[in-house]
Structure formats: structure tokens, C-alpha cells
Amino acid sequence: MTRRWLFADQLGPHFAVGHDGVLLVESRRALARRPFHRQKLHLVLSALRHRAAELGDSAVLLRTDTYTEAVRELGEPVRVYEPTSYAAERLVRRLHADGVVEDIDPTPGFSLPREEFAAWAGDRRRVRMEDFYRFQRLRLDLLVEGERPVGGRWSFDDENREPPPRGAERLDVPPPYQPREDDIDAEVREDLDRWTREGHLSPVGDDGPRVFAVTRREALAALDRFVTKRLGAFGPHEDAMLRGDWAMAHSLLSVPLNLGLLDPVEVVDRAAQAYRDGDAPLASVEGFVRQVIGWREYVWHLYWHFGPTYRRRNALAARRPLPGWFDRLETDQVDAACLQDALTGVRERGWVHHIPRLMVLGNWAAQRGYHPDALTEWFQTRFVDGYDWVMPANVVGMSQHADGGAMATKPYVSGGAYIDRMSDYCGGCRYDPRKRLGDDACPFTAGYWAYLDRNAARLEGNHRMARPLQQRHRLADLEAVVAQERRRAATPP
């Protein structure tokens, strides 16, 4: 008989509880270690306490300073599932060596076991998400007929990148699932208020009504609402942004997925079933499946594949510290409409969708040369779905190109023209996306050229950057643009 110790991101039924009961731990030190978003703290505590309440007598919920204290206080050996960070892995290995942790089982939180990814990666010179995704589709028998993709194509990306509908302030889709708070949430709110008042915590961001699912029941309701009401619009508008529509047609499932409340395979099976039933178009379903068993799992495996030092890579030698206004999510002095809205979204709910993360916040940081390690920490603590495993590939690799191209073949930087095409921000902005010089020069457009100029030597060998690097020589005002951006770097845009 061995009790199962479940971490706060292992809360769904696929993290089997068995007959021997469960240990859940609220570690005060883990909550206080970093300046997390207030709503992230709320979600994690609420999820843990709801799970403990559901399990009733079979769960022991311990509130201790550290995890080690909790397992020692329990006084009996426990089994664990592989945790999701290097630090937690070191801890359970140490406790395993001490005999406190009896067994470490492979995690059911991702569809592909770590050793199978290692076998797949084998001695490939370079791992590629597209190859991994096809491998996953075939392995999971998802949207395939034998060895061939349903619809004759593996990717519908080219149909899934439409700008927002012209003139629309919002997408014409039903709103996302909205959970209802209960007594447990009220208690969590009270505790967080008190701990903050007493100086035990220094959270950032606003408190607000809970937006994301924290129980299995809520997670299933959120999945159901997304698949039945919103999935059809997901694909075409995946990359679009509207200032009046923070959620667009996104699933808002990253929080329940990362809390371990949903099995990723059940999520994509639901989407594939919607296609088979004729309830959602293939392009949208493929786009969504790609995110969940493609990107999400790929990012998870890269965390281990690239190793613990990957997070500190800085191939473009970016060293600027994050300015206070950015760090603290203060937007009152920010005029740039896109950046203002993205930072406000982070402050108000700890979440903005993929494109504001990548093409507004990440793009902004890359152009200004923010230190990638500090930025990784910022994303991890400011976002409600931020976890150690999800940051390095997304931030260091994809968004900052600080790994020298191990993850993405080219940096995700762009000028204001991209944001103008994919959003309704620029019309109401004091800057002009077509201008790179002058008072109303768009900081993204000017920042793009300054970025290329600063990193030209480091990006020279990258054939996908050859054209933009070449194009900069045609700008008669490049020097003035670079000087202007150096001057403007000190103040909010």
C-alpha cells in the first residue's frame, strides 16, 4: 500500500489515485519564491483545494513550508509521477534515494513517454516540429487514413492565418466557458489577501473573477463549449487580434491542460470527432490538433532534450534588463496600442493569446534586446499558464532566437505591417505602422530595422534572413532609425 503524492499540475483522473490515497501539498515557499501573477496563485491553490475536496477522506492536504517537510510529516513512503521541472525532478530523485519516494512513474500528462521521444529524436541532426507532429498523428491514429493525412495534407496553416474580419470589433462566435466561483475560491482569495498583507507574498497583476477551469468538471465543460461552439472559427482566426475581443476563438484550455485536468489525447480526440461528425471544418480541427499534440508536446520534450542549461542561452548577446514599467505591467504611459493592450491583458487576467505573446510582447522584447533569461522568468511568472517546462522552447527558442536557431529556423521579429494586417490596433494608435522615422514612427517598424542592424553579423549565416539583411542596405535613413531607437529605448513607447 503506497500513497500517491500528486503535484499541483497532476490533478486529473489520468493521474491515477489508486486505492491508497493521495498526498497533496501547498508549499508556502513554492508560492512565495517568485512574484507570480495574483490570478496564477489563485488558480493553483483553487485547483489543489478543489481536488482535495473531491477526493475527501482519501486525500491528505498538507500546508507546509517545503515539499520535503510535507512528505516527512506524512511519515509514510509515497509514489510519484515524473514531475515537470528539473528542480522538482532533482527533489524527487533525492527523496527516492532517501527511501521516502518509493517509485517514480512515467507521467501520463503527455501522450508520448520521454524515452520514446528520445528514441524518435535518436541521432537526427536536427529535430523538427513538423516531423514530430506527423509522427504523433500517425502514432495516435489521428486524422489519418493508413499512412496518409485525411484531406490529403498534413497542414492547413495556409488557410488558418487570416486577418480579422474587416470592420469587426469582435469575432462572431459564442463566448468561452466561464466558470462560477464557489466557497473554495472565496477562501483562496481571503488567504491570498492576508498573506500579501502580511508580507509573505508579493504577487503582480490584478485580482479578478476566475476565468479558467480548475476542476475536472469545469475543464470538461470548457472543452465541450470550445469544441461545440468555437472550434469552427479557431483555424481561420488563430493568428488574428482584435482589441475588443481578448479570447477570439482560442480554447482557453492551457490552464486546465497544464494543471493536468485534461488528458491531451482526449482533447484532440474530441476535436477529431467533431470533424468526423461534420461539426467543424478540417482546417480548424487540424490547426487545433497541431497545437495540442504537436506544439505542446514538442515544447515539453524539447525541455528535456535541450537540457537544463538551454534556458540560459543568449546567442544574440541581448543584455538589456526589463524596464520597470514592462516588468510591473504598468501601461499608463504606453501609447503603442498593440503593446498597451497586450500588457493590459497580462495585468488583468495573466493571459493573452499566442500572437500577442509572440508577435507583440516577444517581438518587442527581441527588438529591444531584453535579456532572454529575465524575459523567460517574466513570462513564467506573469502568465497563468506559465510553467518551467513550457518556457525555454517558447521564449528562449521561438520568441527570442537566443538558442542560435536550434528551435526555430528564423527569428519571429516583424515590423508594424504584420501587426497592422493581423489586427485592428494601428488605426487607433498614435504611431503609424508605415513610418520608421519621426515622432509618429511605429516602434515595431523602426525596432525591426534596428534589430536587424544590431544582429546582422550574428544572423549572417541564416539563409532565411539573407533577404531582410540585404534589404536594410537599401534604407537611406538606417543610421538615423538606429539612433532614434537607441534614444527611444529608455522610455515607454
Ligand X SMILES: Cc1cc2nc3c(=O)[nH]c(=O)nc-3n(C[C@H](O)[C@H](O)[C@H](O)COP(=O)(O)OP(=O)(O)OC[C@H]3O[C@@H](n4cnc5c(N)ncnc54)[C@H](O)[C@@H]3O)c2cc1C
Contact residues: ligand X, CB under 6 A: 250-254, 257-258, 291-292, 295-296, 299, 353-354, 357-358, 362, 379, 383, 385-386, 390, 394-395, 398-399
**Contact partner at residue 254 from ligand X, ligand SF4, none, CB < 5 to 8 Å by partner kind:** ligand X
C-beta of 398: minimal distance to ligand X in Å?
5
Question: Number of residues in contact with ligand SF4, rule: CB under 6 A?
Answer: 14
Nearer Cβ to ligand X (60/393): 393
Nearer Cβ to ligand X (223/334): 223
C-beta of 324: minimal distance to ligand SF4 in Å?
20
C-beta of 222: minimal distance to ligand X in Å?
9
C-beta of 479: minimal distance to ligand SF4 in Å?
21
Sheet bearing 3-6, strands edge to edge: 59-64, 22-27, 3-6, 78-81, 101-105
Nearer Cβ to ligand X (4/296): 296
Distance CA 336, CA 327 (A): 16
C-beta of 25: minimal distance to ligand X in Å?
22
The answer to whether 348 contacts ligand SF4 (rule: CB under 6 A) is: no
Judge contact between 384 and 204, C-beta under 8 A: no
Distance CA 28, CA 7 (A): 14
Length of the chain: 493
* Residue carrying the nine cell digits 486529473: 12
Window 411 to 450, contacts with ligand SF4 (CB under 6 A)? 416, 419-420, 425-426, 429, 431, 433, 442-444
Q: Nearest to residue 150, comparing CAs of 322, 274, 272?
A: 272
Window 41 to 80, contacts with ligand SF4 (CB under 6 A)? none
C-beta of 312: minimal distance to ligand X in Å?
17
* Residue carrying the nine cell digits 505591417: 417
Phi first, then psi: give them for residue 182, nearest 5 degrees.
-135, -165
CA atoms within 13 A on the CB side of 44: 25
Judge contact between 103 and 77, C-beta under 8 A: no
**Contact partner at residue 424 from ligand X, ligand SF4, none, CB < 5 to 8 Å by partner kind:** none
The answer to whether 211 contacts ligand SF4 (rule: CB under 6 A) is: no
The answer to whether 338 contacts ligand SF4 (rule: CB under 6 A) is: yes
Q: Who's near 481: CB < 8 A, 6+ residues apart?
A: 436, 437, 441, 446, 449, 450, 475
C-beta of 488: minimal distance to ligand SF4 in Å?
12
Distance CA 321, CA 268 (A): 39
| Residue numbers at the binding site for ligand SF4 (CB under 6 A) | 336-338, 416, 419-420, 425-426, 429, 431, 433, 442-444
